[in-house]
Amino acid sequence: MKFWFITGSQFLYGEETLKQVEANSKVIVKGLKKAPFPIKYKLTAKTEAEIEKIVKEANYDDDCAGIITFCHTFSPSKMWINGLALLQKPWLHLHTQFNESIPNEEIDMDYMNLHQSAHGDREHGFIGARLRAPRTVVAGYWKDPAVIERIGNWQRAAVGAAFSRSLKIVRFGDNMREVAVTEGDKVEAQLKLGWQVNTWAVGDLVKVMDAVTDAEIDALVSEYRSLYDLDEKDMDSIRYQAREEIAIEKILVRVGAKAYTNTFEDLHGMKQLPGLASQHLMSKGYGFGAEGDWKTAGLTAIIKAMYPEGRASFMEDYTYDYKHELILGAHMLEVCPSIAADRPRIEVHHLGIGGKEDPARLVFEGAEGKATALSMIDAGGRLRLIAQSVECVKPFQDMPNLPVARAMWRPEPSFLKGLECWLIAGGAHHTVLSYDIPAETVRAFAKIFGIELVEINSESTPEKLERDLMLGDLIYSR
Ligand code: MN
């Protein structure tokens, strides 16, 4: 995907100045080539008609993930109103300037008229604010790596938004009986985020499983061997997981879906709950949510689309160590090996829930480092995205009898306050654990879609959070 760079100017200063504005804009765009996604210089905008035309083109160009605007000179904002009112793509207002410093001898009124983003970008900022347009503003010199990083943070959100708008999620079976937080308004999710969430019969999945050939299974098992350690005596169970994985992926490809859910309560005709199968599919970029959790499945897929080489997994807060102030996260089976600290092992163990055969699964410890736990809930009439900063640590003990992948982390602002904040916000027990996504990207993503965002970080307190949620009730009850 590409981003379009549009420079604001006007005819007031003459042809020579406009030529210089265009040339300088191209130099700036070239300087931004270290951003994660390509930026293309499109236009120096001088008229209302040009702006309306370029916005319409951006809206309908599937490869355009967003626009970046910058006013090299003054660019009167009334000529931007009609165009920006039509804008349907994410918008970054880059407040930069071609030259880093003010020269001494060379500065005269011509210089000032050419290099006046301090002036022009204020007019541009006003119209963004006046239009209540969702936008991200980044100020800084364009050669500064920190500025390029921040542009990248926004680009990731915009790419995730484009992915979200066409995301299809397959549900094999319904929500786990009686569970509340995994429920939600699918029509609202499609209206706000574009997600198409639909159900597909487990019986049809079983039919596709039955048609998987030995040769297909052989190929996938040799891929498992290249990535994971395994015990040859477990081959039957491992091959059965390969059969499930191949069949699930065939249906996802047929539907055009990038995420799916299943539930241990509906495995009609299946011998094992998909474990290794779902783990390996996640590592290939598919989103997954257990027990019918389509919201976490979708969110996992989006974060994987933002960071294709990144580390993100479906996760569940499982049990606490109050003494060490840590959360142990895991699931019955389905944790993505992209977050593994070391090479995972395939193991076969009994699974007490669901009454099926012993499933093969990947077992490993999650990596250390800063991460974010994200949860999307249906807050009644609106979606709420909750993002908590956490510190993942190496588990302080081996837990040799725990037969699943696991991660351990401490939430911000502190263990207990972090737990209180999470519960006050209504965050689910299911999350996406991402080692890549910064707060700025989460913020930009929520802003693009106009959904409620609750951030829990080192500055959070339960008292402040309660006030913010009350404000949210006012804002989103409109
Ligand atoms: Mn669960």
Residue 337 scores a pLDDT above 80: yes
> For 222-248, what is each residue's pLDDT tens digit?
999 999 999 999 999 999 999 999 999
What are the extents of the domains in the chain? 2-164, 166-476
Give me ligand 1 centre to Cα 152, in Å: 33
The pLDDT of 107-132, averaged and rounded, is 96
Give me ligand 1 centre to Cα 383, in Å: 20
Residue 478 scores a pLDDT above 80: no
Give me ligand 1 centre to Cα 251, in Å: 23
Place of tokens 């951006």: 58
> For 350-383, what is each residue's pLDDT tens digit?
998 888 999 999 999 999 999 999 999 999 989 9
Question: What does the alpha-carbon distance between residue 109 and residue 114 come to, in Å, rounded to a whole number?
Answer: 9
Long-range (24+ apart) CB contacts under 8 A made by 103-109 are none
Give me ligand 1 centre to Cα 464, in Å: 30
Structure tokens, 186 = 């699918």
For domain 166-476, give the CATH number: 3.20.14
Residue 477 is predicted with a pLDDT of 79
Residue 305 is predicted with a pLDDT of 98
Residue 355 is predicted with a pLDDT of 87
Residue 354 is predicted with a pLDDT of 85
Give me ligand 1 centre to Cα 50, in Å: 52
| CATH number of 2-164, picked from 3.40.50.720, 1.20.1250.20, 1.10.3720.10, 3.40.50.10940 | 3.40.50.10940
Three-state SS sequence of 436-476? CCCHHHHHHHHHHHCCEEEEECCCCCHHHHHHHHHHHHHHH
Give me ligand 1 centre to Cα 284, in Å: 21
Give me ligand 1 centre to Cα 431, in Å: 9
Give me ligand 1 centre to Cα 300, in Å: 14
Of 172-181, 350-359, 416-425, which gets the smallest average pLDDT? 350-359
Angle between helices 276-283 and 235-255 (to 10 degrees): 50
Residue 235 is predicted with a pLDDT of 97
Nearest C-alpha neighbor of 98 from the set 22, 40, 150, 43: 22
Give me ligand 1 centre to Cα 4, in Å: 41
Give me ligand 1 centre to Cα 331, in Å: 6
Give me ligand 1 centre to Cα 334, in Å: 9
Give me ligand 1 centre to Cα 176, in Å: 9
Predicted TM-score of the model (pTM): 0.97
Give me ligand 1 centre to Cα 264, in Å: 10
Question: What does the alpha-carbon distance between residue 288 and residue 394 come to, in Å, rounded to a whole number?
Answer: 25
> For 128-165, what is each residue's pLDDT tens digit?
999 999 999 999 999 999 999 999 999 999 999 999 99
Give me ligand 1 centre to Cα 430, in Å: 6
Give me ligand 1 centre to Cα 316, in Å: 6
Give me ligand 1 centre to Cα 157, in Å: 27
The percentage of the chain sitting over the pLDDT mark of 90, rounded to a whole number, equals: 98
Give me ligand 1 centre to Cα 117, in Å: 51
The percentage of the chain sitting over the pLDDT mark of 70, rounded to a whole number, equals: 100
Give me ligand 1 centre to Cα 216, in Å: 30
Give me ligand 1 centre to Cα 296, in Å: 10
Q: Could you tell me the pLDDT band of residue 454, with boundaries at 50, 70 and 90?
A: very high
Residue 35 scores a pLDDT above 70: yes
Give me ligand 1 centre to Cα 290, in Å: 6
List the shell of residues around ion ligand 1, using CB closer than 5 Å.
290-291, 316
Give me ligand 1 centre to Cα 219, in Å: 30
Q: What is the dihedral of CA 26, 30, 32, 38, to 10 degrees?
A: 100
Question: What does the alpha-carbon distance between residue 412 and residue 195 come to, in Å, rounded to a whole number?
Answer: 30
Give me ligand 1 centre to Cα 391, in Å: 22
Give me ligand 1 centre to Cα 400, in Å: 22
Q: Could you tell me the pLDDT band of residue 174, with boundaries at 50, 70 and 90?
A: very high
